Every structure is written in C-alpha cells, then in structure tokens.
C-alpha cells in the first residue's frame, strides 16, 4: 500500500500573492499523489490558516478538494470510546487530523467536521481508521492539535496502542522539545520519549521544516509545511514537498515541489552605528541576493540587532526595498544607548537586591520633591496607588494639603 503524506497547507494564509500560493501548493500536492498512484493520503493538520475560514477561503477549498476526483470509498473510523462510524470519502481517501489553527472548543463545530460531512476527508481525533487493500491492513491513528499545555496529559489519556498483525501509523500536530530552535521548554510539554512505541511511522505536522529521526524504536517524521508562513531560519535550509510511504517495504520517500520559492534568512548585528551604515550593509546584501534570477519571488527575512549611535532610533533606518522583486520581512531590534544605560541601572539595583516596592517609593518621593508638593506620607500614597485605590489616594493628598 502506498500512503501519501503532507501537512500545514495553511489555506487562507496571507493577503498578498502567497494567499493563492497556498491553494496552488495544495492542488499541486493532490496532483502529485494522483500521478504517484497512492492509495490513501494523510494530512497532519493546519489545513487552514484560521479556525473559522471566510466564505472566500471555503469556496477555494472546495474547489481544491473537487480536483481529488475518483470513486467514493467507505472508511471505518473507530472513536476513543470504541464507537464505529462509516465515513464516505471521494477520490483518493484523505485521512486528516486538525491542527492548532483549526482547534476550537468541544462545543463548537470544527472545520474538519464540515469537510467530513461533505465527503472531502475523514477526520480523526483520539481514534483510528482501518484501511484495507488486498490482504493488507493498515491502521491510521491520530491525536489532533491541542494547546501545548494539555498535550502530554491528553496523550497519556489517549494512550494509543499499535494493533498487531498490521501496519500502524500515527499522526500528531504538536511541538516537541527536541525540535524547538530555542531553549524554552515551557512552550512544549511533549518530548519524543513521550511518544508511543510499536508504530511503523509517527508523523507530526505543526513545525514547518522537514526532518526524520529514529529514536529508541520510534521512526519520527516531521513533514514540514507546503508554504512559508513564519520564515524560520531552519526553513531556509530545507526543501518543501510531499512524502510517500510504502507500507510493505517501509520505504519513506520525499518528493520536492518542482518550483520552490526560496527563503533567505540572515541576522545582522551592529554596534554603535549610524542608520546610514545599517542601510548600506542591508541594501548591499539584498542586491547580492537578487543577482540571481528567480521564477518565483524569493522571501527575504532579515533580523537587525545591536545599538545605534546616541541620538538615533531604529525609526531613522530608512530602507529602499525592491518590492517588485522580493517579499521582505525586516525586524529591527536595536537598543538605544540611553535606554541601555537605564537598563544597566535597573540591573545594578537588582544586583543590590533592592525591592521593587522600595524602588517605587523612592521614585515617587523623587517626583514629589521635584514637583515641590511638600511633605506627606509617601508610603501610604504608594500603597493606595499599588492597590488601585485611586480615590482614596486623592482624598489622602487633599487632606494632607489642607
């Protein structure tokens, strides 16, 4: 059995030319799956970019699914409570989990439920689907995307088990600590070690760069997205495309899209410079990148950090961007010298272990002295202000003045 795999198509993303690109990539993926004669297609979440798509996005989405032509199939879907539902799907059957972008509370209809009702796909969450071809049986398990803080607890409750005598594949749409590009465990509750064992392939969407890992008996595939949305550095190093998994040989093949939009990501660090110096260096790099001829407009993502000379702010950096040749994302994170001194002063106060209350009272006393308001109970006024007792503070000030 041949299984096609893709994820994070983000239909409805953006309001520029990349909005159409999301739909074009979805259509291209479906055509590739048909050309490769896959038996089933798996989607690992974030089909849409918004939980409640607009009418225009729905119209284009159904146009995409209508290109998945073919006969109807009946899939048996087993829920968390072991209830069984027959799901009718047209064309090459698509089995999908919803992602974090489609996540809605239990009392609200999910966009994937609408697509299932329209026979466009089979939506699974905390359950599995049984696939059969000739004498082969494959089970597709899935846990749809949920808020990260709930993911580990929900996985423990779900506790999926591979079914013996068959090929077992499981879909997820979560962050994993090992794949985060920065040291911040608080935004991911799951680790690869939390994943179940015994599955032939574990597929995860959500993170937009592709990767494959084999860790202690767990074959883990990060599908990546079909388009760029966040312009992460890791994405600039990886091609985008689809995967095909052969359930007999267990071979997993990546097939890139024919025309790739390129992403250029670079971080510049400056120290005590003039705005014109930043402008010259950045525009020189842009000119260097654009010497190459691109079939599709490239994405250029620059992060500018550091410090400017005294008297200047990042607003003084005026860049001339050739918008007709590329799509730009420029972030400026400059520290102004005077502001840096204030930060250093605060750090010094922190090192002296001066409490925030005492610091606030000192600031208030200083302002009172500068305003020549006379003597009054500064601590009392500060306490009232801290507790949002504005009226009492005003009365206290009036009483002391009188």
Domain containing residue 144: CATH number: 3.60.21.10
- In this prediction, residue 170 carries a pLDDT of 98
Indicate if 174 and 64 belong to the same structural domain. Answer: yes
> Do 141 and 150 meet the contact criterion of CB atoms below 8 Å apart?
no
Alpha carbon distance 230, 2 (integer Å): 31
**Is 329 within a domain?**
yes
**Is 275 within a domain?**
yes
Residues 256-289 pLDDT 10s: 999 999 999 999 999 999 999 999 999 999 999 9
Q: Is the pLDDT of residue 394 over 70?
A: no
Radius of gyration of the chain (CA): 28
Nearest of 65, 67, 53, 61 to residue 22 by alpha carbon: 61
Indicate if 294 and 334 belong to the same structural domain. Answer: yes
**Is 348 within a domain?**
no
**Is 344 within a domain?**
no
> β-strands 136-142, 127-133: how paired?
antiparallel
Indicate if 171 and 292 belong to the same structural domain. Answer: no
**Is 349 within a domain?**
no
**Which position has the higher pLDDT, 2 or 377?**
2
> Do 24 and 14 meet the contact criterion of CB atoms below 8 Å apart?
no
Indicate if 228 and 310 belong to the same structural domain. Answer: no
Look at residue 154 and give its three-state secondary structure.
helix
**Is 371 within a domain?**
yes
Residues 55-93 pLDDT 10s: 999 999 999 999 999 999 999 999 988 899 999 999 999
**Is 346 within a domain?**
no
Sheet holding 94-96, edge to edge: 122-123, 94-96, 40-43, 2-6, 241-246, 252-256
- pTM, full prediction: 0.80
Indicate if 181 and 53 belong to the same structural domain. Answer: yes
The residue among 205, 236, 256 that closes a domain is: 256
Indicate if 367 and 319 belong to the same structural domain. Answer: no
Indicate if 327 and 383 belong to the same structural domain. Answer: no
- In this prediction, residue 386 carries a pLDDT of 66
Give the CA diameter of the chain. 95
- In this prediction, residue 335 carries a pLDDT of 75
Indicate if 83 and 21 belong to the same structural domain. Answer: yes
Indicate if 150 and 37 belong to the same structural domain. Answer: yes
What's the number of CA atoms in the CB half-sphere (13 Å) around residue 11? 29
The residue among 228, 256, 284 that closes a domain is: 256
Beta bridge partners of 303: 267, 331
Alpha carbon distance 154, 65 (integer Å): 31
Residue 240 CA, distance from chain mean position:
16
Residues 293-343 pLDDT 10s: 999 999 999 999 999 999 898 899 999 999 999 999 999 988 755 555 555
> β-strands 167-172, 218-222: how paired?
unpaired
Rounded (10°) CA dihedral 284, 286, 291, 294: 180
Indicate if 198 and 249 belong to the same structural domain. Answer: yes
Nearest of 322, 318, 333 to residue 289 by alpha carbon: 322
Indicate if 334 and 226 belong to the same structural domain. Answer: no
188 confidence band (pLDDT: 50, 70, 90): confident
Range of the domain at 304: 263-338
DSSP state letter for 297: P
* Through-space distance between the first and last CA atoms of the chain, rounded to whole angstroms: 89
The residue among 256, 273, 295 that closes a domain is: 256
Range list of β-strands (E), 223-298: 241-246, 252-256, 263-273
Domain count for the chain: 3
Indicate if 47 and 183 belong to the same structural domain. Answer: yes
């Amino acid at each position: 059995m041949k299984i096609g795999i893709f994820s994070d198509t983000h239909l409805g993303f953006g309001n520029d030319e990349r909005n159409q690109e999301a739909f074009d990539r979805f259509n291209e993926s479906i055509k590739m799956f048909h050309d490769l004669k896959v038996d089933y297609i798996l989607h690992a979440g974030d089909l849409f970019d918004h939980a409640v798509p607009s009418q225009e996005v729905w119209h284009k989405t159904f146009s995409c699914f209508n290109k998945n032509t073919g006969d109807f199939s009946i899939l048996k879907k087993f829920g968390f409570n072991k209830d069984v539902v027959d799901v009718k799907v047209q064309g090459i059957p698509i089995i999908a989990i919803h992602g974090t972008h489609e996540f809605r509370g239990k009392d609200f209809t999910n966009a994937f439920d609408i697509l299932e009702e329209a026979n466009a796909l089979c939506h699974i969450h905390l359950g599995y689907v049984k696939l059969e071809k000739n004498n082969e049986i494959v089970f597709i398990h899935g846990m749809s995307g949920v808020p990260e803080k709930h993911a580990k607890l929900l996985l423990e409750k779900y506790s999926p088990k591979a079914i013996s005598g068959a090929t077992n594949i499981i879909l997820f749409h979560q962050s994993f600590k090992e794949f985060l590009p920065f040291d911040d465990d608080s935004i991911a509750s799951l680790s690869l070690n939390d994943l179940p064992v015994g599955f032939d392939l574990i597929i995860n969407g959500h993170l937009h760069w592709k990767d494959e890992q084999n860790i202690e008996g767990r074959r883990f595939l990060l599908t990546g997205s079909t388009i760029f949305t966040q312009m992460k550095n890791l994405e600039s190093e990886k091609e985008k495309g689809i995967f095909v998994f052969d359930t007999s040989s267990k071979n997993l093949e990546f097939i890139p899209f024919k025309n790739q939009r390129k992403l250029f990501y670079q971080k510049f660090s400056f120290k005590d410079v003039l705005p014109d110096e930043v402008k010259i260096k950045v525009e020189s790099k842009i000119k260097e990148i654009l010497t190459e001829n691109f079939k599709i407009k490239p994405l250029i993502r620059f992060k500018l950090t550091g410090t400017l000379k005294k008297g200047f702010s990042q607003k003084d950096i005026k860049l001339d961007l050739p918008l007709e040749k590329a799509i730009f994302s420029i972030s400026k994170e400059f520290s102004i010298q005077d502001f840096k001194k204030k930060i250093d002063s605060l750090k010094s106060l922190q090192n002296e272990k001066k409490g925030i209350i005492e610091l606030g009272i000192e600031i208030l006393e200083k302002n009172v002295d500068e305003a020549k308001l006379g003597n009054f109970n500064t601590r009392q006024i500060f306490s009232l202000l801290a507790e949002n007792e504005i009226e009492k503070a005003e009365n206290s000030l009036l009483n002391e003045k009188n």
